[in-house]
Structure 1
Amino acid sequence: MKQFNWGVVGTGQAAHLFASDFSYAKMGELKAVASRDKACADQFAAEFDIELAFVDYFSLINSPEIDVVYIATPHVHHYDLVKACILAGKAVLCEKPFTLNEALSQSLYDLALEKNVFVMEAMWTRFNPVIEQVLEWVEEGEIGSLHSVQASFHFLASTDPSHRILNRELGGGALLDVGIYPVFLAQLLFGKPDFVQNQAVIGDTDVDVFEQILLGWETGQLASLDASIISSNPNRAILSGEKGYIEIDSPWYKAKSCRLVDESGNERAVEFDFSGNGFQFEVDEVNRCLEEGLTQSPNHSWQDSLELISTLDEIRQDMGVSYPCEEQDDHHDVHEHHHEHSHHKH
Structure 2
Amino acid sequence: MKKIKWGIIGLGKIAGKFAGDLQKVEEAILYGVASRNMEKAEEFKEEFHAEKAFGSYEAILKDEEVDVIYVATPHVYHAEITKDCLHHGKAVLCEKPFAMNRSQVEEMIALAKEKNIFLMEALWTKFLPHFKAVEETIKTGKYGKIKAIKADFGFKADYNPEKRLFNKDLGGGSLLDIGIYPVFLAHHFLGMPDSVEAEAIIGKTGVDERCDIRFHYNNGTSAELFSTLQEDSGTTAEIELENGKITMHSRFHEPTSAQFEIDGKMEIRNYGVTTKGYNFEAEHVTKMLQQGKKESDIMSFQDSLELISLLDSIREKIDLQY
TM-score (norm: length of structure 2): 0.98
Match for 1:252: what amino acid? F
Q: How far apart, in 1, do the equivalents of 2:301 and 2:26 lie?
A: 24
Preserved contact between residue 24 and residue 275 of structure 1 (Cα < 8 Å): no
Q: Report the equivalent of 2:40.
A: 40
Q: Tell whether 2:62 aligns with 1:62.
A: yes
Q: Report the equivalent of 1:191.
A: 191
Q: Tell whether 2:170 aligns with 1:170.
A: yes
Partner SS state of residue 295, structure 1: coil
Q: Tell whether 2:294 aligns with 1:295.
A: yes
Match for 1:322: what amino acid? Q
Structure 1 unaligned residues grouped into runs of 5+: 324-346
Cα distance, 1:13 vs. partner? 1.2
Preserved contact between residue 249 and residue 255 of structure 1 (Cα < 8 Å): no
Q: Report the equivalent of 2:23.
A: 23
1:1-346 superposed matches below 5 A = 1-264=1-264, 266-323=265-322
CA RMSD in angstroms, aligned pairs only: 1.0
Q: How far apart, in 1, do the equivalents of 2:205 and 2:218 lie?
A: 36
Q: How far apart, in 2, do the equivalents of 1:161 and 1:177 lie?
A: 15
Q: How far apart, in 2, do the equivalents of 1:217 and 1:63 lie?
A: 49
Q: How far apart, in 1, do the equivalents of 2:219 and 2:23 lie?
A: 43
Q: Report the equivalent of 1:335.
A: none
Match for 1:269: what amino acid? I
Cα distance, 1:87 vs. partner? 0.9
Q: How far apart, in 1, do the equivalents of 2:113 and 2:82 lie?
A: 13
Q: How far apart, in 1, do the equivalents of 2:206 and 2:298 lie?
A: 35
Structure 2 unaligned residues grouped into runs of 5+: none
Match for 1:207: what amino acid? V
Q: How far apart, in 2, do the equivalents of 1:125 and 1:26 lie?
A: 21
Cα distance, 1:263 vs. partner? 4.0
Deviations 1:308-327 (A, max 9, x none): 0000001011111111xxxx
Partner SS state of residue 21, structure 1: helix
Match for 2:253: what amino acid? Y
Q: Report the equivalent of 1:341.
A: none
Partner SS state of residue 16, structure 1: helix
Match for 1:96: what amino acid? K
How many residue pairs match? The answer is 322
Task: Name whichever of 278-287 and 19-28 sits farther off.
Answer: 19-28
Q: How far apart, in 2, do the equivalents of 1:292 and 1:154 lie?
A: 38
Cα distance, 1:286 vs. partner? 0.3
Among the aligned pairs, what percent are the same residue? Answer: 39
Q: Report the equivalent of 1:334.
A: none
Partner SS state of residue 204, structure 1: coil
Partner SS state of residue 130, structure 2: helix
Cα distance, 1:62 vs. partner? 2.2
Deviations 1:161-186 (A, max 9, x none): 00011111111111000000000000
Moved over 3 A (4+): none
Partner SS state of residue 69, structure 1: strand
Q: How far apart, in 2, do the equivalents of 1:243 and 1:74 lie?
A: 42
Cα distance, 1:70 vs. partner? 0.1
Q: How far apart, in 2, do the equivalents of 1:119 and 1:83 lie?
A: 10
Cα distance, 1:6 vs. partner? 0.2
Q: How far apart, in 2, do the equivalents of 1:232 and 1:26 lie?
A: 36
Preserved contact between residue 248 and residue 255 of structure 1 (Cα < 8 Å): no
Cα distance, 1:82 vs. partner? 0.4
Cα distance, 1:268 vs. partner? 2.3
Q: How far apart, in 2, do the equivalents of 1:42 and 1:157 lie?
A: 29
